[in-house]
Structures are given as C-alpha cells and as structure tokens.
Structure 1
Amino acid sequence: MFTKSPTLTLSTLAPAVPGIAEAMTGLTVLDAYLADPTAAAKQVGPEWIKLTPRGKFTARDGRVFDVDPELLAARFVQDGVDLPVDIDHATVKKAMFGEAAPAVGWISKLEARADGLYGKVEWLADGLAVLAARTHRYISPTLKHDENGKAYWLHSAALVAAPAASMAAVASADLSTLKEPTMLKAIAAALGLSEDASEASCLSAVTNLKARIDPAVHQAALDQVKTLSADLDARNAADHQAKVDALLDGALKEKRIVPAQRDQYAALCATPEGLVQVTALFATLTATLSASGLDDKRPGEKTATLTAEDREVMRMMGLSEEDYRKHNGLTAA
C-alpha cells in the first residue's frame, strides 16, 4: 500500500561512470507524488507531477541552473510533441548507444505555476507498475541549457530511485554531446579494441601504450630536435648576414650610400622583412654621389683640405665636417 510521500527533495548526484560526466548535467530530483499526494493512497499514478522548481538553484556539485517555467511551457506548445517519461533517463543514456528506451508515461501538457514547472502525465502500465513497486519514486527532468545554466528545452523526464541510492546518475544528458559514443568507438578501434569496448578499457589501453615509451628515448628525441633547431637557426642567421653584406657592399660600390650610412642600414636589415624593405629602397636610389678621390689613397696620404666634391657629399648627407673627416679618415685642416 502506498504511504504519504516526503516533502520536496532537491538533489544532484555526480555521475559515477567514467566518461559520462561530460554528458550529464546536475538537476533536481522531485518526489513523483509531490504535486498529488492523494494519488499514492488511491494506488494510481499522479496526474500532475512537478518537474523542476522556478528560478535559480544550485546543484550538489556547485553548478547553478536557472529555470523559467513559462519559457519551457511555451517551447513545449511550439514543438507540439508529447514528452516521454522513462526509467533512469533511458531515453538519453540508452539511446546514446542505440539501445531500446521505451517510455513508461507521456507528458501531454506543461503548466507554469508559481513554484515551478508541472507536467500532466498519461501513465502507461509499466509506469504504474514501477510506481506501485516503489523502486523509482522520484522525478528527474532532462533539460538542455546554455553555458550560463539557463534551461531552454525540456527533453524528457525520468523516474529514478531515491537520491541516497547508489546509481550512475540522476541527471540528464546535454544533447549536444551525443556524438561521444561514436568517438569512443573510433578510439577503441584505433587502440585495437572492439567497438563496444568500455571507456575504462580504452583508458587502460592508453595507459599501457604510454608505459611502453622509454623516457630516455623520449628525452633523446627532444634533445635532438632542440639541436637541429639551433643548427637551423644558426644557418639561417649566417645566410641572412651574407645577404645584408652583399647588399650594402653593392650599394657602397655603386655610390648609392656613403660609408657613414652603412651601420645605419645594417641595423634596418636586422630582420628578413627589413632586408626586403632596404633592398626595395636601394632600387629607387641613383648613383648621385661623386667620388671622394680617396679610393686610391693610402693611409699615409690623408688629406687635410676638403674638396668641393667632399663638401657636396657632406651637404647631401647632412654631415658635419668633423663627422665627415672622422668617417673618411681625414685629419683636421
């Protein structure tokens, strides 16, 4: 005989099955007879059940969810599809693996009330049998929500055992993650396991694979990569410097620049991008600098007097006489 059910119970049980955690969301668990306590005494299924409270609530794992009953009720009307009531979220969990997940009741109407969202249920024989046996007396909704915990779609509801019972999960699947079983099969195949291998078997195979890698061999490979990378950097630097020297030496020979400018242009060519820009700049310069007359002079023949050509070069380069003499090895007048 049915006894009076306890008051509202809020609970969110963390999934105990590895790999299911990413697919589950913590929700509430409500007594199936909360909305209609007299149904238990009459040994019938409650016509109306409370599916979720109104507003924000915190699950046992600390996550916060936000339910707007009016929003969910409006979505239900828009979809025009009755929602299944199953056992232990079989519609979500078993369907993920292609297994049968029959409904034990159908929610034909949703109603937003002051304290939450309610559903009108048409119970099937199997559902009434489960309720009569008292093995699953709590209701847990399957809600899809956004990243802020805002629920925007009620997918189904489930009869589950008491929150204190040991079970895989009483929460629902986020339907955006239903591709995981297919991925798990692919991973199992890549590891040489059968397609129906469990996640625990896959993890064990990965662990064994990692154990077969000799740490010394791994470190040696890393060291070799580091050495090869350093050698490549050195070769690239040498090649770059050779290109810079060739460019500046050519510009000096063609009298596009004067020796005093070499270091400045060399600094601009420090990067590959800079080298490209200076090369393009030199292509626009013409050999307008006059000869200084110093090309054939020896160190002992330093000139103390500047020629008119020397002064023209100074003017074009914006150099003082002192700087010009210094860069060209001339003594003071």
Structure 2
Amino acid sequence: MKKQLRTDLNAQTKTELVTALCTKLPPVVDDLWWPLIPVGKVEGKDGRSWQNDDAQAVIDNTQLPFLLDIDHASELTNDTRASGWFEELKITDGFIYARVDPTKSGAKAINEKDFKFYSPALNINKKTGQVHSFSSVGLTNKPNLDVPALNKKQGNQQEPQTQTQTQTQTKQKDNTMLDALLKALGLPPDADQATALNAIQVLKTATETNAMQQQQPDLNSFVPKATHDQTVTELNAANAKLQEMADAKHNEAVEVAINQAIDNKKIAPADKDYYTAQCATEQGLADFTKFADNKAAIIGDSNLQDKPPKKEGDAELNAQDIQKLESMGIVV
C-alpha cells in the first residue's frame, strides 16, 4: 500500500525521490528535532523543486511513526532495518520539524559521523508538484538541499550559520515574498518576472492617473466652490420668497373661510382666533372647511335686519289690536 501511494503521487523514480533533500546531521540528544523541509517552495541543488504550500496537510497525511534508515535502503531495497523512528511532526520557524528517536546503531552512526547528512523521502503529487507526505528519512553523505545544518551543537550552543545556509534562508525568504507579491497582483505562482513587472506598472499608472484626476477634476462634473455657494444662497432666498407667498395666500384663504363661517352662523365671532389657529396648515384649513360645510347654524334668523328698533314710550300692540288694524287694511 505504501509503495502504491508513492507510485501514484511521485513523478520521479525511486532514485530521484530518495535523493531529493539532504541536511547535515546533529549529534544525538534526548529531545532531538530535525528540520525536514521548509514551508513554501522547496528547491534542490539538482534543479528540481516542489511546493509545500500546506504544511499542516503534509503533517496530517504522514503516517507516524516513520522510518530513519541508511541511504534510503527501505525505499530502494527490501532492507527495512531502522536506524531510528520519527514520532512527531510540527511547524516551527518556517520548517516542518520531526522528532527522531534513533536506535543504538543509528545514534552510533550519527555520533561517529559515519553519515553527515540526512535526506527525507517525499511523496509528491506528480500533477501539482505539491508535497503530500513523508515516506521515510535516510542517513546519507550525498547532500542535495541546503537547509539548517545538523552536525552541530544543540540548544543555546548553536554554531554560526555558514554562508551557504544564510544565502539559502535569504533565498527562501525572497521566494516567500515573491509568492505573496504574485498573489497580491492576482498572478499565478508560476508567473515570470516580466509579467510581474508589467502588472506593477499597470497598477502604478492607474494610481497616478487617479491621483491626477483628484488634483484636476473634470470641469463637466464639478463647479467652483464660490459658484456653488452663490447658487445655494440664491436658491434659499427664492425658496423663502415662495414660502412667504404661499403663507400669504394660505392666510387669505383662512380669513375668507372663517369670515364665511361666521356670516353663515356656523361659528361664533368670539371663536374666530381659535379656529384661525386650527387652520394654520393646509390640512387644518381643509378640515375646517369640511366642518363648516356640515355644521348646522348655531343662531336662527331674527328677521330684524330691516326693522327699526323700538322707541322709548312706544306702546306694544297686542293680538287684538293687530287684528283690528288688519281689518282696516293696515299691516304692522
């Protein structure tokens, strides 16, 4: 099952697979963690490269524990004797680290410097070039990839990095930065330098054009502030004048409606101020007009408009007197 998985996922032959990566060996200590591959782009000295974009997925896909052998014997031959076992994986400082528990023979080979490097055997997806999982790790003397040195002191007594290691880490950092830049520009990870520079130039030109348009606005879309302010002032004055005319017309209509209601004896003259206040709005005037039209008169017709007032000393005729006068043809 293990070999079938590797055959399905790996584009290289077994020989190419097991010499993919190499790292110097550290001395054996109780808690020994080895950096296996960097996160991101993984490049070998032989020119091959792979992508480790999802380091956690690589950890999840790897079956623990996996084998430490000699010169990838478990990958190339039927010799599966262990020089150690990798019990745990973690992501630290941009690398996938593995905790190794060497056997006696493995510890001896490392401490006596029979082997100076180690090389992970990787399962690679041949379609995408993505690292899928770890198959094993082999002690070897054929380095392919410069990653943090192994045959050095652990803890706080680490030896200084070599120039090659520093250059490798710088290159890995640059690659990570380049990948982020290509993503920000909306370009694929394999875009070349010319494509990236062209995208940057397009973005720069668009930014400069936008800045220039903000400094020099389109005259068809904007007016000077002084003209705008004057227009607003004149518009406010015109609106105020219109409102004044509307108010005068409304007040005139209220006066007519109130006086007509008084003349029609629908309201008492003493209530004029009250009803005038109720007609302050158009709706109030409409409501009052409807009220006055439907209301009965509150004072009957006295029929005294054409009759003079009685004079002092005038005798008041009774019904009998009026009947006598009518019989004589006199109407009072």
Band of TM-score, shorter chain: 0.3 to 0.5
- TM-score normalised according to structure 2 size: 0.36
Higher relative contact order (CA 8 A, sep 6+): 2
- Calculate the TM-score normalised by the size of structure 1: 0.36
